[in-house]
Structure formats: C-alpha cells, structure tokens
Amino acid sequence: MPRNPDDFSMKIVEKQKSSLADSLAAVPLTPGCYIYRDAKADVIYVGKAINLRSRVRSYFQKGAQHAARTRRMVAAIHSLEWIVTDTEVEALILECNLIKKHKPYYNVRLRDDKSYPYICVTLGDPYPRVFFTRRPKLNRDGNRYFGPYTDARSVRDTLRTVRRIFGVQSCNHRFTGEEKLRPCLYYHLNQCLGPCTGQLSRAEYNKAVEQVCLLFEGRHEDILRRIGEQMEQAAASLQFERAALLRDRIRALERLGERQKVFTVDQVDQDIIGIARSGPDTLIYVFFVRSGRLIGRESFTMESAEDEPDEAVIGQFLKQYYEGAAAIPASILVPAMPEDADAISEWLTGRRGRKSRVHCPARGENRRMVELVNKNAQTALDQQISRGIAGAALAEQACLDLGEALGLEMPPVRIECYDISNLQGGYAVGSMVVFEGGRPAKGQYRQFRIRTVDGQDDFASMKEVIGRRLKRAQDSDDRFADLPDLMLIDGGKGQLAAALEAVADSNEEGIALASLAKREEEVFVPGRPDAIRLPRHTPGLRLLQHIRDEAHRFALAYHRKLRGKGSLHSELDDVPGIGPTRRTRLIRAFGSLEAIRKASRDDLAKAPGMNKTAAARLYERLHGDTNDEQTDAS
C-alpha cells in the first residue's frame, strides 16, 4: 500500500482558478482528501472522506451548526484542492502524510512526533546492533524498530540493562565475524559476547538478539523460559560457569520484570488509550499491555482546539501515532470512538499483517481499564500544566513575554485576576487571585459577595467587585493597598469595559487592564479593537491561563460554599445578634429577605424584638459596608 502522497495517481487535483463555488460544483463523489487554502495559499486544513463532495459541501451549507473554530476556518477558505484515492484507507494514509507535511493550523496534530526516541535493531547486519535513535526509517532499511517512546532517559537506562544481560555489543562497529580484534573491557566483564574476537558464531549471537527483541515486545515470560532451559542444559553438560552466567541473567530479568505489573488476567496484547483536556492543552496517555502485563506507559501532547470533540482528537492521534509506531497490538481500547474507526482498523490490520481492532468498551473490565488510563492522563496533564510555570526562570520569562505581548512599559510583577460566579443570579460572588513574580500568592486571595446587583448581570457584578477592591486600597494600609501592575479580567470585551468604568470612577491611574476570553484564549486590552492571540504553549499564555483558571476555581469554590450554607439557613443567621427568634420576627414583619434589605435602619430598629444596635449591624451586613472576606485559598 503506498505510503507517500507522490505515490498516488492523482486522478484530479483541482486548484482554484476562478471561484470557490465553481470548485465546489466539481468535487467528485469518490474517496480522497481535500485541502483548504487561505488567501495566502497556505494550507489551513486537510481532511479525508469516503465521499468528497458530500463532506466538502457540508462545510458551506446554509444554517450548518459548526463550532466556532470551524466557522472561522470556513471564513478563511479561499481555495480548495482534492486528491482522489481508490479506498478510504488510502485516503487515511494520504491525510496523515499531508498533515505531517503542511502542519495545517486547523488540524489536530501530534506535537513534535518526529523527535520521539526509538530503539533500533539492525537485523540486516551479520552481528546486529541495538541502539537509540531519533531518526527511524520504518519499513525502509530492513531494521527493526521499537517505539516511539517519550522518556529518552528511561530508554537509555533500559538499553544499558539489556546489553549487560544479553551481551549484545554496545559499540557502533559493523562486525562481519572475520575480525580478530582485542576485546574491550565489557567482554572481560561478561557484558558483551565479543563479536569483534572472530570466535563468536552468528547463530549464537543472533539468539541473544532474538531475546532482546522478545523483551522489547513484552514477552518477558518467554525469555525466562528459554534462558531457564539453556541453564539446565549447561548444568547437565557440566558447564557450570555458563550455567551460573545464565542464572545471573534470569535474576537480572526478574528484577527488570518487577516493574512490569500484571494488568489483566487475559493473555492479550493491547494498547489502552486515555485522554485529558484543559483549555487548549490535550494530553493522550497510552498503556502498553503485552501478554496481560503492563510493560510501559507514555504520554503525548496534542495540538487541538477546545471545541474539537474527543472523537476527532483520538482519531487523529491513532492515525499519526500508529503511522510511525514500530509495534501494533491486536486491540486498541479508546475512551471515545472515532467516526472513521472502521477505516483505521482496516489500515492497522494492513500494517500489522494480522487483525487489529479499535474498540470503545462501554462496560466491564475493559471499560474500567480505560477509565484508569483516563485518570492517569488527567494527573499527567495537571503536572504538566503546573510545571509549565513552576520554575523561577520560567515564571520570570512568562512575565517578560506577557509584558511584551500586551505592550506594557514594564513586565507585570503583581497580577490580579477577577472572576464572577453565580447560579441564575443567585449566590453571586466574585474572586480575586494574586500572582507575584509569576507565582500564586494565596495569602492575598480575596472573595466577594455581590451586594448591589439583582439577578444575573456579570458586567455589573464585575464593576462592583473592582470598585470595592480599589476603594479598599484607598482606605486600607494592608496588602490591599498594593495596586497591581496588571488587572486581568476573566471574560471578553463586556467584562473589560465594566472593569474600566470602575477604575475610572476610582480615579486610580497606572493600572493596566486586560481580559482573557476562554473560548479561543483571546486577550483584549483597552483601546485595541482586535484581540491579541499569544502563541500556543508559550510561557506568557501559560501564565494567563493559570491565573484565569485559579480565579475561576476560587470563585466557584466560594459560590458552592454559599449555596450549601444557603440551603441550611438564611443570610440573616450570619449577622451577630440576630438569632432564630429575631429572624422569625423580621420575616413576619417584612415578608421577605428582599424587603428587609430595602428597609432603612430606622425601619429595622422599629421591628418587633429589634433595637438600634442590632438594626445597624443588620443594615451594614446586608448593604456590604463590612470588609470583604479573606478566605483560605488552598
């Protein structure tokens, strides 16, 4: 089956010469790939379809309910091309190659897939070598590859162990068996069989290489059985030194195998895939199970849009990862089924030479394993995000990037971020989180109850929170007096405009403002009509996302806390001096909490069971005259 786009007979490659409408009318009904280009003739999207005309026209139908990212892509399309193939599987292969070649902006891509390490076994050499490589020539040089892996250090450690156990050469020389060289130290330490001496038969050396391949395939038990048989034969032949050497190999393999835990009672070969997502970050986690034993785990980062469905992300991962994978199992378990799963299974079967199936289990043991891998993926993603801005150097670089991107005179040292949380206008709260030097200062976090806004009005709520924060800075000598270098607002232009009004009303100067819209990670700043888009995965954008997510978490936690308390007692219970008796009399006298809130101090004092002191406390609490709450941020 052809693997390169140039190997296909391109029955039709229609380049836009007149209008996009003319090209749409000419799209054929056959399988193939379609390519969208923008006004600069850059490839912005590559897709495949079993029916090109149906798929391509679906993007341009009136009233089509596309995601926001797809709508922007369609608006940017200036011309299209297509390549006809004989089958959907050929289209799938061609799509993989075109995506790797052009790296289209709107495609889901496996990041840096060319840099992953492999282990190469040079089966074409008389005495095969086993070494680490980042430039595999899969199915092109007669060698055997294992991988790809993501942890290069672990690969190198495993190679050292394997060479020590099986005695395959660690040098890069291609020996023919005719050399008669002085052996190196590894030979004298019994860590190399010595193909350089001219005294080692190719058959004996190739047995060791075969065992190495079995180990990388996960056939741990098969190797132990074979070496055990060899040890018994050596002992029976009174070759006690060789028997002792084989015994030591068995013990070393058993220690190596302690890392490999039994994962399923079925003796199956399968890869189990999990997915975790946070904003623009997508991480795929893979468990490699061979003969029921977990032999390894790897994580891979994908570049995808937030509104891209899991099915599409997983489908692209399967195509891009297994296009370069050296080993394909009989079964691949996924948490969400790609729409072209049948074509992917057929393609994998062709690459493997035997049946390989993509399966999304709905229940049972297999579903439990998929959920376990999903949990591992989420843990790995959380660690990856936290590491992204955890180091002092990275935090400093993030502040520098942010200052430059927003056009600030100086990098922002103190950044405050604000978010609003409510449930249909009820229990509305605001949060303020503080980052200093690119790191959270949790002791300075604050939470606000929204006092002056009725119903759900995020703009007015944001204005209230910013206004109260700035008023507190003017009236206080504590940490509130430290004004931020940058106020970051969680939201779009509306929330930013509300914050600007609050800053203007306070007469404070020198505070930079920006808002971060979550859907597309667009940054808005005052006086600039167009959004700023920071490059993906840069320290500056990571810092913005971290601050925004922390503000959202903090606001949501406070909102849930108040909602839980509200289900148990009235807001009146929080006022010192207002007990159950007074609360009951107040409700009877005024009829509702809203009526009590609108009453004056004198009206409250005249209510049954009330006095001027209790009325003053109640009025202050209901009208927000007390200090805002400082809450544990952890």
The pLDDT, as a whole number, for residue 432 is: 92
Query: What's the number of CA atoms in the CB half-sphere (13 Å) around residue 471?
Result: 13
**Contact of 35 with 98, CB cutoff 8 Å:** yes
R_g over Cα of the chain: 33
Specify the DSSP element, H or E, that contains 396: helix 392-406
The pLDDT, as a whole number, for residue 115 is: 58
Rounded Cα distance between 475 and 520, Å, is 38
Rounded Cα distance between 411 and 397, Å, is 10
Q: Which of 150-154, 237-241, 332-336, 432-436 has the lowest mean pLDDT?
A: 150-154
Q: Which of 104-118, 297-311, 486-500, 529-543 has the lowest mean pLDDT?
A: 104-118
Mean pLDDT score, 295-318: 82
Q: Which of 480, 458, 479, 456 is nearest to 468 (CA)?
A: 480
Rounded Cα distance between 395 and 540, Å, is 9
Strands 426-436 and 414-423, bridge-based pairing: antiparallel
Please state, in angstroms and as integers, the Cα–Cα distance from residue 512 to each residue in 383, 411, 430, following that order: 31, 11, 20
Query: DSSP letter at 308?
Result: S
Rounded Cα distance between 595 and 598, Å, is 5
Strands 439-440 and 426-436, bridge-based pairing: antiparallel
- 392-565: same fold as 270-386? yes
In this predicted structure, the answer to whether residue 616 has a pLDDT above a threshold of 90 is: no
Q: Which of 376, 377, 395 is nearest to 386 (CA)?
A: 395
Q: Hey, which residues does 359 pair with through a beta bridge?
A: 333
The pLDDT, as a whole number, for residue 598 is: 84
CA 484 to chain centre: 31
Q: What is the pLDDT of residues 555-610, one digit of tens each?
A: 888 877 776 555 434 567 677 788 878 887 888 888 777 788 888 888 888 888 88
The pLDDT, as a whole number, for residue 15 is: 39
In this predicted structure, the answer to whether residue 181 has a pLDDT above a threshold of 80 is: yes
Rounded Cα distance between 589 and 246, Å, is 93
- For tokens 């994962």, the residue is 263
The pLDDT, as a whole number, for residue 314 is: 92
Q: What is the DSSP string of 600-613?
A: -HHHHHHSTT--HH
Q: Residue ranges of the domains in the chain?
A: 5-107, 115-217, 270-386, 392-565, 569-622
Q: Is 399 exposed, middle or buried (0-12, 13-18, 19+ CB in 10 A)?
A: buried
Confidence category of residue 16, pLDDT binned at 50, 70, 90: very low
Q: What is the pLDDT of residues 468-478, one digit of tens each?
A: 998 888 876 55
In this predicted structure, the answer to whether residue 280 has a pLDDT above a threshold of 90 is: no
Query: CATH number for the 392-565 domain, one of 3.40.50.720, 3.30.43.10, 3.30.420.340, 3.20.20.70?
Result: 3.30.420.340
Q: Which of 83-87, 302-306, 617-621 has the lowest mean pLDDT?
A: 302-306
Q: In this predicted model, which residue has the larger pLDDT, 480 or 349?
A: 349
Q: What is the DSSP string of 139-172?
A: TTSS-EEE---S-HHHHHHHHHHHHHHH----S-
- For tokens 């054929």, the residue is 28
Q: What is the pLDDT of residues 215-226, one digit of tens each?
A: 777 666 667 777
The pLDDT, as a whole number, for residue 7 is: 44
Q: What is the amino acid identity at position 133?
A: T
Query: pTM for the whole thing?
Result: 0.47
Mean pLDDT score, 184-210: 85
Looking at CATH, the fold of the domain delimited by 569-622 is given as DNA polymerase; domain 1 (1.10.150)
Query: DSSP letter at 444?
Result: G
Rounded Cα distance between 500 and 497, Å, is 5
Q: In this predicted model, which residue has the larger pLDDT, 45 or 557?
A: 45
In this predicted structure, the answer to whether residue 507 has a pLDDT above a threshold of 50 is: yes
* All residues at 6 or more sequence positions from 344 whose CB lies less than 8 Å from its CB, including other chains: 92, 315, 318, 319, 338, 358
In this predicted structure, the answer to whether residue 249 has a pLDDT above a threshold of 60 is: yes
Q: In this predicted model, which residue has the larger pLDDT, 478 or 128?
A: 128
Confidence category of residue 114, pLDDT binned at 50, 70, 90: very low
Mean pLDDT score, 528-536: 82
Q: Hey, which residues does 284 pair with through a beta bridge?
A: 275, 300
What are the helix and strand counts (H, E) for the chain?
20, 20
Q: Which of 115-119, 244-248, 262-266, 529-533 has the lowest mean pLDDT?
A: 262-266
In this predicted structure, the answer to whether residue 418 has a pLDDT above a threshold of 90 is: yes
Q: Which of 297, 234, 285, 237 is nearest to 261 (CA)?
A: 297
Q: What is the pLDDT of residues 479-498, one digit of tens each?
A: 566 788 999 999 888 999 99
**Contact of 270 with 370, CB cutoff 8 Å:** no
Mean pLDDT score, 127-140: 78
In this predicted structure, the answer to whether residue 191 has a pLDDT above a threshold of 90 is: no
Query: DSSP letter at 105?
Result: T
Q: In this predicted model, which residue has the larger pLDDT, 463 or 170?
A: 463
The domain made up of 5-107 is a member of CATH 3.40.50.300? no
The mean predicted confidence, pLDDT, of the chain is 79
Confidence category of residue 519, pLDDT binned at 50, 70, 90: low
Q: What is the DSSP string of 87-104?
A: SHHHHHHHHHHHHHHH--
The pLDDT, as a whole number, for residue 1 is: 40
Mean pLDDT score, 58-84: 84
Mean pLDDT score, 309-325: 86
Report domain 270-386's class: alpha beta
Rounded Cα distance between 9 and 499, Å, is 60
The pLDDT, as a whole number, for residue 337 is: 92
In this predicted structure, the answer to whether residue 415 has a pLDDT above a threshold of 90 is: yes
Assign 3-state DSSP to the chain and report helix, strand, coil percentages, each to 5: 45, 20, 35
